[in-house]
């Protein structure tokens, strides 16, 4: 039995507030011990809200979805840097898991990360979505049974992400990412999508057909999915 809850908000700030209330409730009910985190512009107002609040995460273990391959954690373009800047330097967590895109053996890095995910099953996984429907760095065509792996990024994703690389650092063409099966293991999934650029991906989700060409559609088969968006589909 799957539960799909579509939450319509006026703007990203209201969306961030909505997600904040959801997390607060789960924390206070002692249902949130392991939390999957996402990066990207969509998450900035979300993390701001947490940082301003008195939410206590010190008993929460976190896992990030993905990281670029070949970029140092201390580079402003890395997702580790993003997480530290917007959340980890301001809130205390029990344990933080980040994928290492500089690992000498990326396959081993992915296997160990997946092992940790089995050790700490996700209570909630936060997700954004790419314009082409990718979740984490699971691009169109990624097998639904994929676990944490090395992913090749599509031209579409490279184009969208290029705006973040305003220095001379080259945009990586690969990333390490939780797989679709890894994400689907979470007890609850909350996807946040704001702005017109996300319309095509959300429209595919709302059509109700599951297809590997739009990875987001796999979420329709999850038992507890909440989507928070400022887009109208009436």
Residues forming the active site: 66, 132, 134, 139
Please count the CA atoms within 13 angstroms of the CA of 11 that sit on its side-chain side.
2
Q: Give me the count of residues in the chain.
A: 234
Q: How open is the CA angle 208-209-214, to the nearest 5 degrees?
A: 110
Longest CA span, the chain: 49
Scanning 36-154, the segments in alpha helix (DSSP H) are 44-52, 79-83, 106-119
Q: Would you say 95 and 127 are in contact if contact means Cβ atoms under 8 Å apart?
A: no
Read off the DSSP letter of residue 172: P
Q: Residue 135 and residue 138: Cα distance in Å, rounded?
A: 5
Q: With contact defined as beta carbons under 8 Å apart, do 221 and 2 qualify? A: yes
* Structure tokens that stand for 59 in this block: 């008993």
3-24: burial string, b at 16+ Cβ within 10 Å, e else: eeeeeebeebebbbbbbbebbe
Query: Distance from first CA to last CA of the chain, Å, rounded?
Result: 26
């Amino acid at each position: 039995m799957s539960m799909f809850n579509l939450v319509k908000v006026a703007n990203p700030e209201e969306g961030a507030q909505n997600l904040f209330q959801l997390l607060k409730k789960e924390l206070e009910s002692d249902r949130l011990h392991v939390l999957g985190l996402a990066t990207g512009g969509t998450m900035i107002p979300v993390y701001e809200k947490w940082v301003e609040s008195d939410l206590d995460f010190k008993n929460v273990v976190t896992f990030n979805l993905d990281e670029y391959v070949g970029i140092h954690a201390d580079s402003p373009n890395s997702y580790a840097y993003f997480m530290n800047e917007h959340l980890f330097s301001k809130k205390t967590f029990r344990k933080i898991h980040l994928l290492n895109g500089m690992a000498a053996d990326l396959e081993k890095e992915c296997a160990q990360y997946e092992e940790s995910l089995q050790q700490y099953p996700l209570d909630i996984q936060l997700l954004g979505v790419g314009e082409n429907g990718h979740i984490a760095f699971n691009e169109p065509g990624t097998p639904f049974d994929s676990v944490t792996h090395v992913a090749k990024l599509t031209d579409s994703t490279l184009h969208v992400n290029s705006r973040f690389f305003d220095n001379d650092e080259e945009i990586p063409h690969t990333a390490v990412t939780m797989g679709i099966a890894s994400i689907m293991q979470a007890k609850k999934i909350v996807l946040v999508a704001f702005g017109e650029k996300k319309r095509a991906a959300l429209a595919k989700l709302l059509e109700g057909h599951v297809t590997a060409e739009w990875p987001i559609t796999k979420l329709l088969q999850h038992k507890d999915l909440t989507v928070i968006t400022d887009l109208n589909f009436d």
